[in-house]
Amino acid sequence: MIEQFEVNYGVQVMHAWGMTEMSPIGSTCAMKPENRDLDLQARLDLQATQGYAPFTVEMKITDDDDNDLPWDGKTFGRLKVRGPGVSRSYFKGEGGEILDKDGYFDTGDVATIDQHGYMNITDRAKDVIKSGGEWISSIELENLAVGHPDVAEAAVIGIHHPKWDERPLLVIIRKPDTSPTKEDILAYMDGKIAKWWMPDDVAFVDEIPHTATGKIQKITLRDQFKDYRLPTSDAAE
């Protein structure tokens, strides 16, 4: 996945998204005529999305059963694309058939699309927490948690739950010389997200694993907490 921000004086933002498999442009975030009268905050919120598909690129979002989901800017699902510039296969057929029966390529991203076609990536499909048949964005929880003044870094992973399949565990690195508690963090998050999105527990660590490019290594983190038992698990059994 390729994402690029170009900021001028903190106001003018051009956001684009693409993939090697798309040759590579998948969307650009220009203003459509119907959005030119938005106030500054609404305009900036829109420009922070990945934008809409250019000519020849089609997008859709689906659930795990490949059912199309609505373009309402709120419902998020698997982002799929098709078009003449989208790869039909990898070199020497590596990975097998990569397009579905309708010619769509699953990007591996989870996104919303609004009524004007503006797409916003909310997570990677492999990092979404699936709780009781519903999806929870790990990235949105992480972004909220790092807003706490005593949090240096946050990561969210799904932990097995006997009733809900998975529930979110929030992993926190405290800022130096601070000592926030689990209750402090959850109280800060309360009211800013849906109740059922709230992490079931908070774990404090000294280090969160990263890749060479600075991305959180969710696979390593999940392995680190593979035997972790959530406090809500006992009540569900």
What tens digit of pLDDT does each residue of 61-118 get?
Answer: 999 999 999 999 999 999 999 999 999 999 988 889 999 999 999 999 999 999 999 9
Return the CATH number at 218: 3.30.300.30
pLDDT at 176 (0 to 100): 97
Domain boundary among 70, 96, 125: 125
Give pLDDT tens digits along the chain (237 positions). 444 444 444 455 578 899 999 999 999 998 888 888 899 898 888 988 999 999 999 999 999 999 999 999 999 999 999 999 999 999 988 889 999 999 999 999 999 999 999 999 999 999 999 999 899 999 999 999 999 999 999 999 999 999 999 999 999 999 999 999 999 999 999 999 999 999 999 999 999 999 998 999 999 999 999 999 999 887 766
Domain boundary among 108, 125, 142: 125
Question: Same domain for 151 and 210?
Answer: yes
Q: Are residues 203 and 116 in the same domain?
A: no
Residue 13, pLDDT score: 56
pLDDT at position 31: 87
Indicate whether 153 and 232 sit together in one domain: yes
- Compute the distance between CA of residue 171 and CA of residue 178 in angstroms, rounded to an integer: 16
Together in a domain, 118 and 137: no
pLDDT at position 160, please? Answer: 95
Please indicate, yes or no, whether residues 173 and 114 belong to a single structural domain of this protein. Answer: no
Predicted confidence at residue 232, as pLDDT, reads 85
Residue 60 and residue 103 share a domain: yes
| Residue 9: predicted pLDDT | 41
Residues 52 and 64 in one domain: yes
Q: Which domain holds residue 226?
A: 129-236
Q: Are residues 155 and 212 in the same domain?
A: yes
Same domain, yes or no, for 109 and 168?
A: no
What is the model's pLDDT at position 217? 94
Which of 125, 140, 157 corresponds to the end of one domain?
Answer: 125
Domains of the chain: total: 2
Q: Do 86 and 163 share a structural domain?
A: no
Please report, for the domain that includes residue 37, its CATH number: 2.30.38.10
151 and 120: one domain? no
Q: Note whether 68 and 54 are within 8 A (CB).
A: no
Residues 117 and 149 in one domain: no
